[in-house]
Structure 1
Amino acid sequence: MSDTISVRPRTTPREDAALAGRIARSAAALQGQVRDADDVLAWLERREREIHFAVDRIKLDELDGWSFQEDTGNLAHRSGRFFTVEGLRVAVEHEDGAHVPVDAWQQPVICQLEVGILGILAREIDGVLHFLMQAKMEPGNSNLLQLSPTVQATRSNYTQVHQGSAVRYLEYFRDLSGARVLSDVLQSEHGSWFFRKRNRNMIVEVDGPVEEHADFRWLTLGQIARLLHRDNVVNMDARSVLAGLPVGPAPRALFSDAEVLSWLADARSQSPVRADRVPLASVPGWVRDEAEGTVRHEEGRYFRVVGVSVEAGSREVSHWTQPILEPCGQGLAAFLTREIDGVTHVLAGAKAEGGFREAELGPTVQVTLGNYAHLPADRQPPFLDLVRDPDPARVRYSALHDEEGGRFLNAVSRYLLVEADESQAPLAPPPGFRWVSHAQLAALALHSHYVTVQARTLLTCLNAASAGSGWGGAPLTP
């Protein structure tokens, strides 16, 4: 007789049916372990006073451990890790009628092919789901300390290439055996400035106690939503991770899910991105300005690569130098919105950027305004006139947010949700655009390479500002 015990396999539900309700309760909770959103702002201000932070510009040839390689001109670290600044040659084919301002170009680009972890720890406190947020300094932030994920670390950082201290709470995201995964997806980052950069966006729930630290606070979604209406408080990585939370049920949309996916597949096939890394020294139109200590465009457009020296008492390493990309002007990212048969929709664009493998769903308008000033009217982005100076009565959401502060300096964009009507944004939009329901966008954000990082920020802002169809909270005002 065999000693083997037969075990009947058991199945589990494919989705957590209770999660949407728990998220809605958290979104409705404006008080929690921290009393309210104003207390969060006071805590951030206090930590900035208590810890020494300093960021000073230096020339690229003054960077410690970084140098331009003789054969390529690429800017690299002596360890061979972290990231490099290289050249990129891009060509984007497009179908007739699609709007592409420039169909071929070359530029510097940040190459950081290792996958980092952006993780938020969740826990139920007094029956309400809370999220462990960090007061984290990044050298590129316009105000240095912002609300960040529990863990925000590149692989080079969490494997301690910098020989600094360990990343706090990392173990919860490296070993998931005792946790409940609420969201886990590889997501792209800025395709205009990164070459095929991806991060693992995670939300992980635990039941037991978690060690406390002065740089971390448990917040409800309602409190985070309030803070999303403040300028430059919730950082890009937190906004991206929070886009992975489900929204309320909405079974109807202008187009079926299959039709939206078919449209995007067609856009990808009609507008393939062909990008090749090339030596930085060979990129036309870009110069290494030794007097200024930067790499810049010869006409002063787009962005500069500059150097910074950083001091941060609360980071794993207290002092370092690095190159960082600084855009030439403020950005603008906006969704036009419409209520179609009572369902909130956004006008998404198929964005084919140099650092992407293929096009992804992005905002209706996504620009750094100065970059288009020299182009003729027929090459200006569609719908720009509706969001550049919008009618205040049509603005559903408006706030300034920093982009990724670890690699981009003073990269601030205004994020807008602007209501439109048929005369401004018809149901049959120009090629390259498609109306997508709020719930459809949220569902696509649960999968890799469908929704750009700017569109994920706008999705999180839409969730924070929507009653019923978002996280479930009441409408919020700044």
Structure 2
Amino acid sequence: MTTWPRTPRAGAPASYDAPHLRIARSVVADPGTGGAARFHRWLAAQREHADMRVRQVPLEDLAGWRTDPATGNLVHETGRFYSVEGLDAHLPGAPVERWQQPIINQPEVGILGILVKEFDGVLHCLMQAKIEPGNHNGLQLSPTVQATRSNYTRVHRGAEVPYLRHFRDTSRHRVLADVRQSEQGAWFFRKRNRNMVVQATEDIETRPGFIWLTLRQLHELLRLDDLVNMDARSVLACLPFTGPGLPHVLGAPGDDFTAALVRSCDGRADAPEELAGVLHWITEARTRREAAAERVPLRALAAWRREDGRIAHESGRFFRVSGVDVTAVGREVGAWAQPMIEPRGQGVIAFLARRIDGVLHLLVHAATEPGYVDVVELAPTVQCTPDSLAALPAGARPPHLDAVLNADPERIRFDAVHSEEGGRFYHARNRYLIVETDEDHGAAGPDHRWLTVSQLVALVRHSHYVNVQARCLLACLHGLTARPGPVQPSAALS
């Protein structure tokens, strides 16, 4: 395992063992010679043993699912897991004020948890190589535990979820993060999952299919397409990685951007009243918008058609509901069928970043989606599927999309394509970007605001403030606090 000098540097803060500094040590820990090659050999071995075959089938042929004769909703025969229903959304004053759509209703709260442990003074995360039926490329890194309530209570009568007990009973461990977070409000109706990071204080057996990785290793892997799954990114964003004293651990930054980012994470430039102002701004937006979303029968949706075994919009845009039949090796259940959301086109998710007085700020958007629990959550600067914009009014085009798409390549600080939740979405992929700018784009309107990283992380520690797309980008941004060398995909990933 990686080693770390136990003696603090001269001038280091007294709270050298504070959680954010222990996290920072894992960000800069040297994985040693051949660390990346060892990981890719391990991943290649997992691909040989983990097999999943996914076949798209008509919704009418999904075993264990039925169409409710009264509503047309797609429901599981047990009454558990989730259902696909209709939604009538009303957002007065928006470019599209009213629309209808299918949506996933999954009221139960699942657990997304990463187990961490220190080896030789360095924090490591226990990650799982896992295939989901909607993954674009099969095997991806997931959290230690990624399970719905129906799964971990074994409604499917399958095997027990490994390591679950560490998250259901934390009395012998140290909880670093525990917060209920939303998921995609455009496709889920008020979906929440419990995001947890638990530090083990006892020996942990490493089961087949699991691996211990430092945050530095995970950050390097985040720079590769379709490798670290959405649930892992969401949980990583919930880590308390901001606070004073970071330069003492992260070391001298390699460039001005990194220096500004570290200062943004340090948080000493943030006045307490500034966060109070941010909370006031969010509350004002939630109060001002008269958003409404009502569940309606799936068969009654205007502009949506059930044909050829799928449900699709008459324009051919947005997404469709399709069915898959799955057989798998190494899962709690060996075979099942399910409906999935299948987006039409790749999305763009981006933060514009700007240095203000030497501190990096991110331009956030107070956004509304019909499935949110509380009207507004903070989203990235841009979050859209460009291919769908042709079916919408001109005013629906995100105001900063061109600034992202036309950015000088030298101003792009992060750029990778990541898959979204492969358990419910079929081949859903987004291009994640962090683009530095010198312009004050926030002056464009009241729904955007510049925040420091420490302010955004403070909001992540509470439910329903920062959406899943912004959390995923935060996890990617955290990896830029200590610049690693270039990462090249190995033959095992090709």
What's the CA shift for 1:272? 3.5
Residue 327 (str. 1) matches residue 321 (str. 2): no
- The 1:132–1:323 alpha-carbon spacing in structure 2 relative to 1, beyond 3 Å, is same
Residue 345 (str. 1) matches residue 361 (str. 2): yes
Aligned length: 448
Name the CA distance, whole Å, in 1 between partners of 2:109 and 2:179.
11
User: What secondary structure, in the 3-state scheme, does the structure 1 residue paired with 2:444 have?
Assistant: coil
Residue 474 (str. 1) matches residue 468 (str. 2): no
- The 1:455–1:477 alpha-carbon spacing in structure 2 relative to 1, beyond 3 Å, is farther
User: What secondary structure, in the 3-state scheme, does the structure 2 residue paired with 1:107 have?
Assistant: strand
Whether contact under 8 Å (2:21, 2:241) holds in the other structure is no
Q: 1:20 is matched with which residue?
A: 20
What's the CA shift for 1:43? 1.8
- The 1:20–1:139 alpha-carbon spacing in structure 2 relative to 1, beyond 3 Å, is same
Q: 2:445 is matched with which residue?
A: 430
What's the CA shift for 1:474? 3.3
Q: 2:104 is matched with which residue?
A: 110
What's the CA shift for 1:299? 1.4
Residue 296 (str. 1) matches residue 312 (str. 2): yes
Whether contact under 8 Å (1:101, 1:381) holds in the other structure is no
Whether contact under 8 Å (1:253, 1:343) holds in the other structure is no
Q: 2:142 is matched with which residue?
A: 148
User: What secondary structure, in the 3-state scheme, does the structure 1 residue paired with 2:186 have?
Assistant: coil
Query: Cα deviations across residues 350-375 of structure 1 (Å, max 9, x unaligned)?
Result: 11000002200001010011111233
Q: Which amino acid aligns with 2:310?
A: T
Q: 2:45 is matched with which residue?
A: 46
Whether contact under 8 Å (2:317, 2:387) holds in the other structure is yes
Q: Which amino acid aligns with 1:282?
A: A
Q: Which amino acid aligns with 1:59?
A: P
User: What secondary structure, in the 3-state scheme, does the structure 2 residue paired with 1:219 have?
Assistant: strand
Name the CA distance, whole Å, in 2 between partners of 1:428 and 1:334.
18
Name the CA distance, whole Å, in 1 between partners of 2:127 and 2:200.
15
Pick from 476, 479, 484: which aligns with 1:464? 479
- The 1:195–1:427 alpha-carbon spacing in structure 2 relative to 1, beyond 3 Å, is closer
Q: 1:10 is matched with which residue?
A: none
Pick from 334, 349, 367: which aligns with 2:384? 367
Name the CA distance, whole Å, in 1 between partners of 2:55 and 2:435.
37
Name the CA distance, whole Å, in 2 between partners of 1:80 and 1:64.
14
Whether contact under 8 Å (2:177, 2:198) holds in the other structure is yes
Query: Cα deviations across residues 181-230 of structure 1 (Å, max 9, x unaligned)?
Result: 00000000000000000000000011211122121001100000000000
Q: Which amino acid aligns with 1:108?
A: P
Whether contact under 8 Å (2:63, 2:337) holds in the other structure is yes
Query: Cα deviations across residues 132-177 of structure 1 (Å, max 9, x unaligned)?
Result: 0000110101011100000000000001111110100000001111
Residue 250 (str. 1) matches residue 267 (str. 2): yes
What's the CA shift for 1:305? 0.6
Whether contact under 8 Å (1:465, 1:476) holds in the other structure is no
Whether contact under 8 Å (1:133, 1:147) holds in the other structure is yes
What's the CA shift for 1:427? 4.8
Whether contact under 8 Å (1:37, 1:224) holds in the other structure is no
- The 1:67–1:338 alpha-carbon spacing in structure 2 relative to 1, beyond 3 Å, is same
Q: 1:73 is matched with which residue?
A: 72
Q: How does 1:61-460 map to 2 (within 5 A)?
A: 61-94=60-93, 100-248=94-242, 249-253=266-270, 256-289=274-307, 292-357=308-373, 358-422=375-439, 425-460=440-475
TM-score, length-normalised on structure 2?
0.88
Name the CA distance, whole Å, in 2 between partners of 1:270 and 1:53.
47
Name the CA distance, whole Å, in 1 between partners of 2:402 and 2:444.
15
Whether contact under 8 Å (1:312, 1:319) holds in the other structure is yes
Name the CA distance, whole Å, in 2 between partners of 1:30 and 1:433.
38
Name the CA distance, whole Å, in 1 between partners of 2:200 and 2:82.
33
- The 1:87–1:57 alpha-carbon spacing in structure 2 relative to 1, beyond 3 Å, is same
Question: For structure 1, which runs of at least 5 residues remain unmatched after alignment?
Answer: 1-14, 95-99, 467-472
Q: Which amino acid aligns with 2:218?
A: I
Query: Cα deviations across residues 307-351 of structure 1 (Å, max 9, x unaligned)?
Result: 111122011001111111100000110000001111111000011
- The 1:429–1:475 alpha-carbon spacing in structure 2 relative to 1, beyond 3 Å, is farther
Name the CA distance, whole Å, in 2 between partners of 1:35 and 1:271.
53
- The 1:35–1:150 alpha-carbon spacing in structure 2 relative to 1, beyond 3 Å, is farther
Query: Cα deviations across residues 362-395 of structure 1 (Å, max 9, x unaligned)?
Result: 0101001111123343331111101124220110
Whether contact under 8 Å (2:352, 2:362) holds in the other structure is yes
Q: Which amino acid aligns with 1:50?
A: H
Q: Which amino acid aligns with 2:364?
A: A
TM-score, length-normalised on structure 1?
0.91
Name the CA distance, whole Å, in 2 between partners of 1:317 and 1:405.
16
Q: 2:260 is matched with which residue?
A: none
Whether contact under 8 Å (2:315, 2:391) holds in the other structure is no
Whether contact under 8 Å (1:117, 1:202) holds in the other structure is yes
Instruction: Report sequence identity in percent.
Output: 52
Whether contact under 8 Å (1:397, 1:416) holds in the other structure is yes
Whether contact under 8 Å (1:66, 1:322) holds in the other structure is yes
What's the CA shift for 1:426? 3.5
Name the CA distance, whole Å, in 1 between partners of 2:470 and 2:134.
21
Whether contact under 8 Å (1:30, 1:220) holds in the other structure is no
User: What secondary structure, in the 3-state scheme, does the structure 1 residue paired with 2:151 have?
Assistant: helix
Q: Which amino acid aligns with 1:329?
A: G
What's the CA shift for 1:477? 4.4
Name the CA distance, whole Å, in 1 between partners of 2:341 and 2:37.
32
Name the CA distance, whole Å, in 1 between partners of 2:348 and 2:135.
17
User: What secondary structure, in the 3-state scheme, does the structure 2 residue paired with 1:465 have?
Assistant: coil
